[in-house]
């Protein structure tokens, strides 16, 4: 299985991209969460100039964040800096919208947006609509400032069949976050294939997770493991705190963790400003006082924690379920964690 890494946009990100390339990793991604992290297009522009081989992805943007022409301009501009190395991840904006206190967009809007960005990035004209006004638009400076000749890879973020079907109809790959159940991946691939307009080899599938290889005698729920995986667990707890219907589906211990998170952040599931309390430091290193919220059940569901043999067995099962590339989000020591990933999958 191939390996890659996902980080947040910040100064020095290009140095991490260069190290990832030197380690032999396949791809380097930057999150698109505007009010939480820096701008991914700026970050990947720096990465494009610092590297020569590694693929560069944004994971993921959304029609709820950017218009199709604005998104296409960003991706085609990156494609001019790193021809043929750009990956466009698109989704409903689940997290990025919630950090604004808003809800994600619809699958229909996602599909329309994806089709428009695909068309523009391929140099075609598209129908662009704002309210009742509709115009044909296309790049007016293709070949000089943007690159529409080299292909851009598209992937749709999916946790369920609706988004997977969008990927099928648009001929894109898949990316999913914290989905470590091989059966769930098989279901996503089935939904994508059922919706595909033509029979062809499956586009690539990417899994975003966290990784912690246990040392000799190290407990799987110790502080080091909780710190390495806690950002993913906290992201789920924040989502549950923001979405009572989802929280209701969790077990008793997990629901109690959600209740404690709300209490510690001084908010409630229906407070109008809860997004300003739940999402600061989103996907960052957790505070030591929050380690007790990082439940082993959630660590095991969302991240890869175990001995080298245990983790490799889980990775093999995911590969057999159709996952092509394992992406980790390192937060403790990114250079060391990237090296650990490269060694694991070498």
**pLDDT tens readout for residues 29-77:** 999 999 999 999 999 999 999 999 999 999 999 999 999 999 999 999 9
Q: Which two tokens stand for residue 43?
A: 């970050």
CB 175 within 8 A of CB 158: yes
- Asked if 44 and 148 sit in the same domain, the reply is yes
How far apart are the C-alpha atoms of 309 and 306, rounded to whole Å?
A: 8
Asked if residue 319 has pLDDT above 80, the reply is: yes
- Asked if 231 and 325 sit in the same domain, the reply is no
What is the CATH number for 8?
Answer: 3.20.20.30
- Asked if 208 and 220 sit in the same domain, the reply is no
For residues 268-288, give the mean pLDDT.
95
Give me the sign of the Cα torsion angle 337, 288, 58, 185. positive
52 bridge partner residues: none
CB 234 within 8 A of CB 265: no
Count of structural domains, the chain = 2
- Asked if 122 and 256 sit in the same domain, the reply is no
Percent of the chain past pLDDT 70, that is, above it, reads 100
Length of the chain: 346
Asked if residue 189 has pLDDT above 80, the reply is: yes
- Asked if 205 and 237 sit in the same domain, the reply is no
How far apart are the C-alpha atoms of 128 and 116, rounded to whole Å?
A: 8
Could you tell me how far CA 177 lies from the centroid of its own chain? 6
Asked if residue 209 has pLDDT above 90, the reply is: yes
Residue from 250, 227, 229, 228 nearest 239 by CA: 250
- Asked if 222 and 90 sit in the same domain, the reply is no
Boundaries of domain holding 106? 2-212+307-345
Please tell me the predicted confidence (pLDDT) of residue 278. 96
- Asked if 228 and 163 sit in the same domain, the reply is no
- Asked if 185 and 246 sit in the same domain, the reply is no
CA gyration radius, the chain: 20
Please tell me the predicted confidence (pLDDT) of residue 74. 98
- Asked if 22 and 160 sit in the same domain, the reply is yes
For residues 285-297, give the mean pLDDT.
97
Please tell me the predicted confidence (pLDDT) of residue 242. 94
Tokens 């080899």 locate to: 201
* Phi-psi label, residue 125: left if phi above 0, alpha if psi -120 to 50, beta otherwise: beta
- Asked if 125 and 12 sit in the same domain, the reply is yes
**pLDDT tens readout for residues 87-102:** 999 999 988 889 899 9
**pLDDT tens readout for residues 223-277:** 999 999 999 999 999 999 999 999 999 999 999 999 999 999 999 999 999 999 9
- Asked if 332 and 301 sit in the same domain, the reply is no
Is residue 116 packed enough to be buried (19+ CB in 10 Å), middle (13-18) or exposed (0-12)?
buried
């Amino acid at each position: 299985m191939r390996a890659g890494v996902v980080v947040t946009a910040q100064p020095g990100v290009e140095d991490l991209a260069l190290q990832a390339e030197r380690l032999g990793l396949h791809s380097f991604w930057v999150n698109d969460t505007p009010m939480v992290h820096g701008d991914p297009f700026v970050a990947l522009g720096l990465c494009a100039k610092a590297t020569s081989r590694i693929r560069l992805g944004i994971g993921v943007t959304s029609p709820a964040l950017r218009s199709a022409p604005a998104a296409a301009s960003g991706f085609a501009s990156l494609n001019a800096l790193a021809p043929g190395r750009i990956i466009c991840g698109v989704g409903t904006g689940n997290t990025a919208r919630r950090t604004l206190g808003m809800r994600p967009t619809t699958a229909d809007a996602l599909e329309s947006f994806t089709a428009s960005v695909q068309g523009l990035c391929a140099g075609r004209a598209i129908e662009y609509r704002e309210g009742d006004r509709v115009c044909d638009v296309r790049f007016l400076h293709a070949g000089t400032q943007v690159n529409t000749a080299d292909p851009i890879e598209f992937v749709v973020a999916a946790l369920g069949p609706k988004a997977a079907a969008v990927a099928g109809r648009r001929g894109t790959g898949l990316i999913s976050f914290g989905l470590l159940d091989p059966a769930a991946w098989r279901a996503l691939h089935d939904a994508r294939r059922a919706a595909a307009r033509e029979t062809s080899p499956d586009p690539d599938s990417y899994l975003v997770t966290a990784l912690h290889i246990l040392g000799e005698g190290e407990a799987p729920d110790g502080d080091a493991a909780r710190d390495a995986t806690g950002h993913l667990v906290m992201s789920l707890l924040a989502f549950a705190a923001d979405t009572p219907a989802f929280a209701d589906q969790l077990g008793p211990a997990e629901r109690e963790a959600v209740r404690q998170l709300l209490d510690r952040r001084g908010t409630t599931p229906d407070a109008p400003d809860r997004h300003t309390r739940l999402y600061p430091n989103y996907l960052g290193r957790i505070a030591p006082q929050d380690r007790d919220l990082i439940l082993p059940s959630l660590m095991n569901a969302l991240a890869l924690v175990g001995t080298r043999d245990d983790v490799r067995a889980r990775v093999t099962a995911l590969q057999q379920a159709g996952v092509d590339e394992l992406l980790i989000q390192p937060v403790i020591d990114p250079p060391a964690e990237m090296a650990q990933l490269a060694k694991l999958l070498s």
